[in-house]
Chains A and B, each alone.
Chain A
C-alpha cells in the first residue's frame, strides 16, 4: 500500500522532470549522429563511388573499388600481416599476462611498487611508447643491442625493425609492453572473484601453487579470458599507431597491416574510395571475427 502511494506521488513529481527527456538526450544523440552514424553510412556510400583526390563524382560504380582492393596484392598482404600480428601478439601476451597477474596476486611486500612499474607504460600515449621503442630497438645506439653486446651476445644484436624477419616481432613486443596492464588488471579482478576455498583445498591436497593456478583458477577464469580474447581481437584488427610510428609498414611491407595500408591509401594517396572500401572490409572482418569468436568461446557461465 505504502509503496504504491510513494510511486504514485513520485510520478506526479516526475511529470515535470519528464520534460527533460528530450532536451537532455538531444546533445548526446546529435553528437554521435553527426560524428559517428552519418560518417559510417557515408563511408559505405563513398566505397561505391569514385573519389580520388579532388576528382569526385557521386556516381555509383558498384563493386569496382572492392574488386580493385581484392586484386591488390599489397592489400591482401596487409590482411595476412594483420592475422600474423594478431596471432603473434596473442601467443606472447596470454602467457606473460597470466604469469604476471598470478605473481602479482601472490606477492605480499612491494605489490604497489611492482604494479606501478608494470602498469606505468599503459599511461603513455601509444605514439610516445612507439617512438620510445623505435629507439630502444635502434641498431646503432638502441638499448637492446647495446645490452646484448655488453653481456657477450653480440651475434644476437641485429636491426630488429630493419629486417622483415624480426620487424613484426619488435612491434609486438612494444605493443605488449604498453598494453599488458589492461590484461593484468582485468585478470586480477577476475581472480579476486574466485572463492579462496577451492584453491586452498587443492593446495592442502598437495598441489603446487602454479599447478593449482593452471588447473583450478584458469578454468574458472574462462569467462574473463574469453572476453579479453574478443577485446584483443577487435583491437588487433584495427592496429595502427604502433606500426605507423615504428616502421610505417616496412621494411618491404612486412609490417603493413590493414590499418596502416588504409591510412596510406586514403590520406597519403588521397584515394578516398579505395580507402573507404578497405574500411568497410576491415569493419566486416572485425564484426565477423568477433561474433564468431564470441560464439566459439562461449562456455556455460560457471557458477561459483
Chain B
C-alpha cells in the first residue's frame, strides 16, 4: 500500500514538472501565431484566432532570424571542427608520450580552463580591435576554439591513453609516416570520444552569450543568442511581440528536435560540459 502511494507521488511530481515545461514551450508556439493585439487582449491560454503566419515571415525579414541561425551555424561548426582537431593533436601527444615539460603543458591547459571569461574580456576586446577582428566571425571563432581546447584536450588525452599502440606500429611497418598514421589510423579510432566532445562544444558555442555580445556589433553578424536578446529589446518598445515569439520558436525547434533524436548523447554531453568552469 505504502509502495503504491509513493509511486503515485513520484508520478504526480514528475508529471506536474514535465507538464509545466511542456506548457511553457506550447505557450511560445501559441504566442508566435497570435497578432500583437491578441497577445495583449486575450488570455495566454486561448488558442490563436487565426494562424498569424505573418509573424514568421516578419521574423525572417525584419527580425533577420534566418541570418542569426546561419551565423550561429557557421560559427559553431567551424569552431567545433577546428577545436576538435587542435585538441586531438594535443590530446594525442599528452596521452601517448612522456617528455620533459609535460607537467608544464598540462598545467597551462588546467590554468586556462580556470580563467573566468570576465577576467579576459576587456583585453580581448582590445586585442581583436587591433587585429581588426572585432565585429567579425573570424575573431569570435578564434576565441571559441581557444575556449574549448583545454576541456577537449583533457577528455581526449584520457581516451588516447587507452588506445592500443599495435595498430600504429603496424601502420609504421607499412611505411606510413607518423603524421599519416595519426590522421588515418589513430584519429578514426577516437570517433566516439570526438562525438562526445563535439556535442559538448556545440552546446557551449551555440549558446555562448557574453563574448558574442561584446565582440559583435553589426546586427547582420549576430548569433542566435544575441539576436534573440536584441529582438526581445526591440519587442519591448515596439510592442511587436509576435516577431519575437516566432523568432524564438524558429530558433528553439531545431535544437529540441536534435535533442529528442540524440537524447542519450546530449545527456552525457550536458554532464561533461558542466565540468568546464
* Residues of A bordering B, CB below 8 Å: 10, 13-14, 16-21, 24-25, 27-29, 31-40, 42-43, 46, 99-100, 103-104, 106-107, 112-128, 130-132, 134-136, 140-143, 146-147, 150, 177, 181-182, 185-186, 189, 208-210, 231, 234-235, 238, 240-241, 244-245, 259, 262-263, 266-267, 272, 275-276, 278-280, 282-283, 286
Contact = CB atoms under 8 A, between A and B. Distances in A.
| Most chain A CB inside 10 Å of its own CB: which residue of B40, B142, B229 | B229
Given A24-B89, A36-B112, A125-B228, A46 B146 contact: no
B93 interface: yes
Contacts of B14: 100, 103-104, 107, 114, 118
A10 B97 CA distance: 12
Main SS at interface, chain A: helix
A116 B122 contact: no
A100 B9 CA distance: 12
Contacts of A189: 271
B256 A36 contact: no
Contact of B210 (A99, A181, A241): A241
Interface of B: 2-3, 6-7, 10-11, 13-15, 17-19, 21-25, 27-28, 31, 39-40, 43-45, 86-87, 89-90, 92-93, 96-97, 99, 105, 108-109, 111-112, 115-127, 142-143, 145-147, 149-150, 153, 165, 168-169, 172, 177-179, 182, 203, 206-207, 209-210, 213-214, 224-226, 228-229, 231-232, 241, 244-245, 248, 251-252, 255-256, 258-260, 263, 266-268, 270-271, 273-275, 277
Given A31-B86, A31-B145, A124 B207 contact: yes
B209 A140 contact: no
Chain B residues touching A, majority SS: helix
Contact of B124 (A28, A35, A122, A210): A35
5 contacts: A18-B97, A24-B93, A36-B120, A39-B122, A140-B40
B24 A20 contact: no
A188 to B, nearest CB: 9
Which of B90, B109, B150, B231 is most buried by chain A, counting CB atoms within 10 A of its CB?
A: B90
B10 A106 contact: yes
Given A31-B149, A119-B270, A126-B225, A40 B119 contact: yes
Nearest to A235: B277
A142 B260 CA distance: 27
B39 A141 contact: yes
Contacts of B97: 14, 17-18, 21
A28 B150 CA distance: 8
A104 B266 CA distance: 17
Contacts of B13: 99-100, 103
A238 B116 contact: yes
A143 B210 CA distance: 28
A136 B209 CA distance: 21
B263 A115 contact: yes
A141 B44 contact: yes
B112 A279 contact: no
Contacts of B146: 31-32, 34-36
Contacts of A25: 89-90, 93, 105
Please list the 10 inter-chain residue pairs (A to B) with the smallest Cβ-Cβ separation, ordered nearest first: A127-B225, A117-B18, A35-B146, A42-B123, A39-B120, A125-B207, A39-B123, A24-B89, A32-B112, A28-B90
Contact of B232 (A99, A120, A131, A235): A131
A157 to B, nearest CB: 13
B107 to A, nearest CB: 11
A137 B147 CA distance: 33
Contacts of B108: 29, 32-33, 37
A28 B118 contact: no
A119 B116 contact: no
Given A100-B14, A238-B116, A18 B90 contact: no
A20 B248 contact: no
B206 to A, nearest CB: 7
A279 B210 CA distance: 14
Contacts of A286: 116
A15 to B, nearest CB: 10
Given A120-B259, A123-B266, A125-B209, 6 more contacts: A28-B109, A31-B145, A32-B112, A126-B207, A241-B210, A286-B116
B149 A150 contact: no
Contact of B122 (A124, A276, A282): A276
B119 A43 contact: yes
A32 B89 CA distance: 14
A39 B127 contact: yes
B53 to A, nearest CB: 21
Contacts of A210: 6
Contact of B24 (A24, A38, A143, A279): A143
A175 B180 CA distance: 47
A24 B149 CA distance: 13
Of A120, A121, A286, most buried by chain B (CB within 10 Å of CB) is A120
Contacts of A107: 10-11, 14
Contacts of B17: 100, 114, 117-118
